[in-house]
């Protein structure tokens, strides 16, 4: 047999599939990957130290920039952490508005992530355009409520920045009416797509035990068959009031992660329908009138986490009794979900790396912080 020599190649830092500045140092034997080391930090801005030099209130817009696809979900995690530290009550109506925004975020994230994933596989643009079209509709709603499409900065300690505009609910209902059609269409395009089946079934398998040992969260963990969703496991906000299922995969390959994301869009839609039903009866306003924004929490520490579309986003805050956090730490889901990338890619071909990375769904703003 011909003796071959191992070769080291770089994928990235500038590569269309990495969706940001991200490098993978790949050792290949022919076409087969023997080792992969993720290299990042190109977008590092020491977010945590910046946050420690700001007041609690000033950090809210900064959290938008962590995972810039899901600004609302980041706001939610930070707001919960500070509210827990200070002891601020959130009115019922504000909680409903928050959960509504976060579930819309989940739909738009998964629509975008699936679009990008199949784009990376070579089904150029069509699917991505479908996903982006739906995302645009949700961003329009965000704009009408918060004034911004991406960097929403909508949450405040004790509620949200302003109430929903009058035309928000009718527009949301129109969106939901069109939603099942979109999700079914997306699912059909994916499941009946021969390219996708060949590129994703049995690729990038992450077994259940390994997924737990690697501390991955979100759709990556659930795709490996662990039914762990923080909305169920440790309900925060008002998630205990809603009826929804946690979809899980069986094998833990790329295909399972795709299916989990499709099903999560349906479940988010279910939650939103329940919100529409219950919101008119909710007590209180959009904001706790007694809540101060320039907070001065008592000395202590707190860890609060939420289930963002990408996984567990947690904030660990230590307060020294002043208006600035003594320690502000972000537990970013896509940063930790990258840990098993080397193990997931080993033994597969170079072209599979792109697909496996896409199925993890990373955002570099959050990975590099």
Partner 1 sequence: MPNLRAEDLRALLGRDLPGLLQEAYPLHLAPPPAHGHAPPPFTTADALVDADRIIEAALYLRDTLGYAFLSDICVVDYLADGVFELVYRFYHVEGGPSLALKARVPRESPQVPSLTPHWPGANFHEREAFDLYGITFVGHPFLRRIYMWDEFEGFPMRRDFPKQGDKYIGEEE
Helix (H) or strand (E) holding 61: helix 56-64
Q: Which is nearer to partner 1, 47 or 137 (CB)?
A: 47
Q: How far is the CB of 138 from partner 1 (least distance, A)?
A: 29
Is 309 in contact with 104 (CB distance < 8 Å)? no
Q: How far is the CB of 76 from partner 1 (least distance, A)?
A: 18
Is 300 in contact with 85 (CB distance < 8 Å)? yes
123 alpha-carbon distance from chain centroid: 24
Q: How far apart are CA 308 and CA 73, in angstroms?
A: 6
Q: How far is the CB of 314 from partner 1 (least distance, A)?
A: 6
Q: Which is nearer to partner 1, 142 or 214 (CB)?
A: 214
| Closest CA relative to residue 276, chosen from 80, 96, 42, 76 | 96
Residues paired with 14 in a beta bridge:
21
Sequential DSSP letters for 186-240: HHHHHHT-HHHHHHHTTSS---HHHHHHTT--THHHHHTT----HHHHS--TTGG
Q: Which is nearer to partner 1, 286 or 328 (CB)?
A: 328
Q: Which is nearer to partner 1, 195 or 227 (CB)?
A: 227
Q: Which is nearer to partner 1, 70 or 334 (CB)?
A: 334
Is 136 in contact with 274 (CB distance < 8 Å)? no
Q: How far is the CB of 299 from partner 1 (least distance, A)?
A: 5
Q: How far is the CB of 231 from partner 1 (least distance, A)?
A: 10
Is 356 in contact with 12 (CB distance < 8 Å)? no
Is 141 in contact with 171 (CB distance < 8 Å)? yes
Q: How far is the CB of 78 from partner 1 (least distance, A)?
A: 15
| Closest CA relative to residue 220, chosen from 89, 83, 358, 96 | 358
DSSP 330: E
Q: Which is nearer to partner 1, 256 or 368 (CB)?
A: 368
| Closest CA relative to residue 360, chosen from 206, 184, 213 | 206
The encoded tokens of residue 65 equal 């920039």
The residue to which tokens 């769904």 are assigned: 361
Q: Which is nearer to partner 1, 205 or 226 (CB)?
A: 226
Which residues are at the interface with partner 1 (CB under 8 A)?
37, 40-41, 44, 46, 48-49, 53, 210, 212-217, 226, 228, 232-234, 299-301, 303, 305, 312, 314, 316, 318, 320-322, 326-327, 329, 331, 335-336, 338-340, 343, 368-369
Q: Which is nearer to partner 1, 130 or 236 (CB)?
A: 236
Q: How far is the CB of 52 from partner 1 (least distance, A)?
A: 9
Q: How far is the CB of 156 from partner 1 (least distance, A)?
A: 26
The encoded tokens of residue 102 equal 């976060």
The residue to which tokens 């929403």 are assigned: 152
């Amino acid at each position: 047999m011909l003796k071959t020599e191992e070769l080291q190649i770089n994928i990235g830092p500038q590569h269309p599939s990495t969706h940001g500045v991200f490098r993978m140092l790949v050792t290949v034997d022919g076409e087969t990957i023997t080792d992969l080391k993720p290299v990042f930090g190109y977008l590092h801005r020491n977010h945590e130290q910046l946050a420690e030099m700001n007041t609690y209130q000033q950090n809210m817009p900064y959290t938008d920039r962590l995972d810039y696809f899901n600004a609302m979900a980041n706001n939610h995690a930070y707001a919960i952490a500070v509210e827990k530290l200070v002891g601020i009550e959130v009115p019922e109506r504000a909680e409903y508005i928050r959960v509504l925004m976060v579930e819309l975020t989940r739909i738009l994230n998964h629509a975008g992530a699936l679009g990008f994933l199949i784009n990376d596989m070579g089904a150029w643009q069509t699917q991505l355009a479908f996903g982006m079209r739906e995302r645009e509709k949700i961003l329009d709603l965000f704009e009408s409520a918060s004034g911004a499409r991406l960097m929403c900065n909508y949450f405040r300690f004790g509620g949200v920045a302003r109430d929903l505009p009058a035309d928000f609910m009718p527009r949301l209902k129109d969106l939901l009416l069109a939603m099942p059609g979109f999700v079914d269409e997306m699912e059909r395009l994916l499941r009946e797509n021969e390219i996708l089946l060949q590129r994703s079934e049995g690729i990038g398998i992450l077994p259940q035990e390994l997924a737990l040992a690697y501390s991955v969260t979100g759709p990556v963990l659930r795709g490996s068959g662990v039914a762990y969703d923080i909305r169920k496991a440790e309900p925060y906000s008002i998630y205990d009031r809603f009826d929804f299922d946690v979809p899980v995969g069986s094998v833990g390959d790329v295909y399972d992660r795709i299916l989990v994301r499709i099903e999560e869009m349906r479940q988010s839609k279910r939650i939103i329908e329940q919100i529409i039903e219950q919101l008119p009866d909710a007590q209180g306003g959009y904001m706790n009138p007694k809540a101060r924004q320039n907070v001065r929490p008592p000395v202590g520490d707190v860890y609060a986490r939420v289930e963002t579309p990408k996984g567990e986003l947690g904030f660990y805050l230590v307060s020294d009794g002043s208006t600035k956090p003594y320690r502000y730490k972000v537990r970013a889901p896509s940063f930790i979900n990258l840990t098993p990338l080397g193990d997931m890619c080993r033994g597969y071909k170079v072209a599979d790396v792109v697909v496996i990375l896409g199925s993890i769904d990373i955002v570099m703003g959050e990975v590099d912080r």
